Amino acid sequence: MEHVTGLKCTICGKTYAPGEVEYVCPDHGNDGNLDVQYNYELIADRLQEDGLLDVRGIWRYKALLPIAYNAPTPPLLVGDTPLYRADNVAKEIGVGKVWIKDDGRNPTASLKDRASALLVAKAMAEGRKIVTTASTGNAAAALAGLAASVQMPTVIFVPASAPEAKITQLLVYGANVLLVDGTYDDAFELCLGATEKYGWYCRNTGYNPYTAEGKKTVSYEICEQLTGKRGLFRAPDTIIVSVGDGNIIAGVHKGLKDMYALGWIDRVPRLIGVQAEGSAALYNTWKAGLDPVEMQPIETNTIADSISAGLPRDRVKAMRAVTETGGIYLTVSDEEILAAIPKLAQATGVFAEPAAAATYAGLLKAAGEGVFAPDEEVVALITGNGLKDVAAAQKAVRQAPKVSPDLAEASPVINGIFGS
């Protein structure tokens, strides 16, 4: 693992040797998120010799991940999700090109699989016996699924209010599920306490420094898919993504910075973070020009449970992802999020859960506010599948009419479909 040179505190910049600390900077407690540092020259030399792995999914980019080249990895296919060009959307909103990256196509149906795959690989390499996480649902499902693929036990803390499909996913994968009578933030703290008490390996987002490293693979894929040629990369102008804890946008940023450092792309695209109006801690801080380190928890209330975070755990990296790339934060209402579910599905065939539809709602809003140039190329990152939260999707569509199985009786209703 000589290509990993250290872990740098996002608050004070102090750098620790690999293995010296496990999760956070000891000087800054749970706020001291660490950023994995690499020796890009060494990585470039290795890639010069061996190239990227000729496999499907995230392990293609193993040379840029914080695990040994020969480390075993879980068998599920993670990543390699489709990037669809949506010319109809681009035309409708007056943007040069729009691409939809459908990360709901991962094995447990969200982008979180990218992080959990890496975390499970690390747990295997370190001989850890039990992995744990707190989650709004998707990170938990991802950890439960990836761990199940290598028969590793999990203990999962989710808010009791998490959507049923997400909780069911956990139980089906055989996770030890604890439904916390409280918010995601409460579940997070409880999981940290339990981690310390029982010595499990903790995947908590914005606490374990490696989650963003798994998620960064989505940026490699986007830029490679844009050229249509394996081994060649090109950056879009803008990537737009929904934000709760800020770990996904931090991962997207990290992947772009990696590629820039290696000379694979000639510039880092601007990043647009979309938050729900009812959970807009990062937006508020960005808008007010405040320091994310000083952020105080807020009450949250949004239908998009996956982006509901009163104190975004990766707030420092998430803020930098936007400010360092000349991007923006914006908010969308629950009504806009719900409306975006059928809009995206009907424009592209991609069914998103509320938190992922928030990206699309943000794309429409940003376009309406003149955020994009007419020739701009924008990638919208759809982070989770709509089947995760059918109850929310149902609120966004009308009921289907019931008809008799008799054609004559059903005909008036059928005729009504196209107004004939």
Nearer residue to ligand PLP within complex by CB, 32 or 137: 137
Residue nearest to ligand PLP (CB): 384
* Interface ranges with ligand PLP (CB under 6 A): 110, 112, 136, 138-139, 205, 242-248, 306-307, 309, 353, 355-356, 383-384
Measured CA to CA in angstroms, residue 14 lies from 37, 38, 88 at distances of: 12, 15, 48
Least distance (Å) from ligand PLP to the CB of residue 307? 5
Helices (H), 216-353: 217-227, 247-261, 281-287, 315-323, 334-348
Helix (H, G, I), strand (E, B) or coil at 147: helix
CB atoms within 10 A of CB 293: 15
Least distance (Å) from ligand PLP to the CB of residue 225? 20
Least distance (Å) from ligand PLP to the CB of residue 111? 6
Nearer residue to ligand PLP within complex by CB, 43 or 340: 340
Structural contact between residues 308 and 302, judged by C-beta atoms closer than 8 angstroms: yes
Q: Which residue from 194, 191, 198, 108 is spatially nearest to 147, judged by alpha carbons? A: 108
Q: Which residue from 322, 344, 219 is spatially nearest to 273, judged by alpha carbons? A: 322
Q: Which residue from 335, 228, 318, 226 is spatially nearest to 281, judged by alpha carbons? A: 318
Least distance (Å) from ligand PLP to the CB of residue 243? 4
Nearer residue to ligand PLP within complex by CB, 205 or 331: 205
Nearer residue to ligand PLP within complex by CB, 43 or 328: 328
Q: Which residue from 126, 135, 150 is spatially nearest to 66, judged by alpha carbons? A: 126
Least distance (Å) from ligand PLP to the CB of residue 205? 6
Nearer residue to ligand PLP within complex by CB, 236 or 273: 273
- Token pair 């604890």: residue: 178
Nearer residue to ligand PLP within complex by CB, 33 or 233: 33
Least distance (Å) from ligand PLP to the CB of residue 223? 20
